[in-house]
Structure 1
Amino acid sequence: MGAGKTTVAGLLAEAWGVSVRDTDHDVERAEGRTISDIFVDSGEAEFRRLEREAVAAALASHDGVLALGGGAVLDPGTRELLAGHEVVFLRVGLADAVKRVGLGTSRPLLLGNVRGQIKALLDERTPIYESVATLVVDTDGRTPEDVAGDIDATLTRNRS
C-alpha cells in the first residue's frame, strides 16, 4: 500500500511497449462496485476469492505488466498462481507509506489509526511479499521513474 504499484507498472509497460493491467481494476469492473464496497458488503474473504480469480484470468490472457493489489499474495492460491513468473516486490517503509496513502483515506483496511494499521499490514505482509518476489526494490525516497528504471535494468540484465 503506497508503494506505487500502479504507477510503476504503467511506466514499465510504456518502456517495454506492452500493455498494463491492474487486478484491482479488473475486480471492480467485473463486480460493478468498488473494492471498499466489496469489503463492506461481502467481506475480505470474498474479495480475496474474486482477486484470486482476477489474477488467474490475467496470468492466462495478459502478456504485459500486471499490477496486483497489496493483499493479493496473502491468498495461498494466488501465491501458487504466481510461481514461475517474475514478481517484483516494491518495498515501502512506514513513513513513506503513510505520506503516500495519506491519513484521510478510503482504503478498507485502514479504518481507525491509519499509521498503526499501515505498520501492522507491513509487519504482517512483508515476509510473504519477500517469499513470493523474484526481485525486491526499495521505493522509499525515490521517484516512480527511478524505481521503474531499476526494475527495467535488473530484469533486462537477468534475461541476458
Structure 2
Amino acid sequence: MGVGKSTVGKLLGERLDAACRDTDEDIVSGAGKPIAEIFYDEGEDHFRALERAAVRTALAEHEGVLALGGGAVMAAETRELLAGRPVVFLEMGVAEAARRTGLDVARPLLAVNPRQQWRRLMEERRPLYAEVARVVVSTDERTPDEVVEEIMDALELRKA
C-alpha cells in the first residue's frame, strides 16, 4: 500500500509506449464503488474474489504494463498466473510507508493499529511477492522516475 504501483506502472507504460492497466481500478469500475466500501459492505472474501477475477481477466486481455493490488499475490491461483512473467516487486520500509500514507489513511486493512497491521501484512506477503518477482526494486526515498529507470535496466527493456 502506497508503494507507488499505479504511478510507477503508468510511467513505465509511457516509457515503453504501452498501456498501463490497474486491477484495483478495474474492480472499482466493475463494482461501482471504492474498494473500502466493498470491504465494508461485502467483506474481504468478496473483494478477494473480485480481485482474482480482475487479475485473471487483465492477464488474458492486456499486453502492456499491469499494476496489481497489494494483496493479489495472496491467492495461489494468481501466483500461478504470474509465474514466468516479468513481475516486479516494489518494496518499501515501514518508515517510508508512514511518510507516504501516514498509515492512517482510510485503508480497510489498516483500520486498527496501522503500523502493526502494515508490518503483519508485509511479513505475510513479502515471501509471496518474492516468489513471483523476477525483480525486486526498493522505492524508499526514490522518485517514480528513478524506480522506472531501475526496472527498465533490470528487465533489459531499453531499445537498442
- Which category of TM-score, normalised to the shorter sequence, fits these structures? over 0.9
Structure 2 counterparts to residues 143-154 of structure 1, below 5 A: 143-154=143-154
Establish whether residue 50 from structure 1 lines up as the match of residue 50 from structure 2: yes
Say if 1:78 and 1:34 are closer, same or farther in 2 by CA, change over 3 A. Answer: same
User: Once the 2 structures are TM-superposed, how far is the Cα of residue 68 of structure 1 from its aligned partner?
Assistant: 0.2
CA offsets per residue over residues 43-75 of structure 1, 9 Å max, x none?
A: 111111111110111111111100000000001
Could you report, residue by residue, the CA deviation over 1:115-153 in whole angstroms, capped at 9, with x for unpaired residues?
111111111111111111111111111111101100011
What's 2:7 paired with? 7
Say which SS state the counterpart of residue 153 (structure 1) adopts: helix
CA distance in 1, matches of 2:154, 2:128: 22
Q: Percent of pairs identical after alignment?
A: 52
Given residue 124 of structure 1, which amino acid in structure 2 is its aligned partner? E
Matched, 1:109 2:97: no
One-letter identity of the residue aligned with 1:43: G
Tell me the distance in 2 between the aligned counterparts of 1:120 and 1:159.
40
Q: What's the Cα RMSD here?
A: 1.6
In structure 2, the partner of 1:76 is: 76
- Structure 2: unaligned runs, 5 residues or longer: none
CA distance in 2, matches of 1:60, 1:157: 22
Which stretch of structure 1 is more off in the superposition, 69-78 or 101-110? 101-110
- Cα distance change, pair 46–149 in 1 and its aligned pair in 2 (3 A): same
1:65 aligns to 2:68 (yes or no): no
Tell me, yes or no, if the aligned pair for 1:94 and 1:122 is still in contact at 8 Å: no
CA distance in 2: counterparts of 1:159 and 1:128, whole angstroms: 31
The one-letter amino acid paired with 1:6 is S
Query: Separation in 2 of the partners of 1:94 and 1:103?
Result: 9
Distance 1:129 1:158, change over 3 A: farther
- Stretches of structure 1 that go unaligned for 5 or more consecutive residues are none
Q: How far apart, CA to CA, are the structure 2 residues paired with 1:15 and 1:128? A: 28
Q: Deviations over 1:16-47 (max 9, x none)?
A: 00110000000010111111111111111111
State how far apart, in whole Å, the 2-side matches of 1:90 and 1:103 are: 18
Give the TM-score, by structure 2 length.
0.95
SS in 2 for 1:59: helix
Shift of 1:104: 3.0
- The count of aligned residue pairs is 160
Q: Structure 1 stretches (4+) deviating beyond 4 angstroms?
A: 157-160
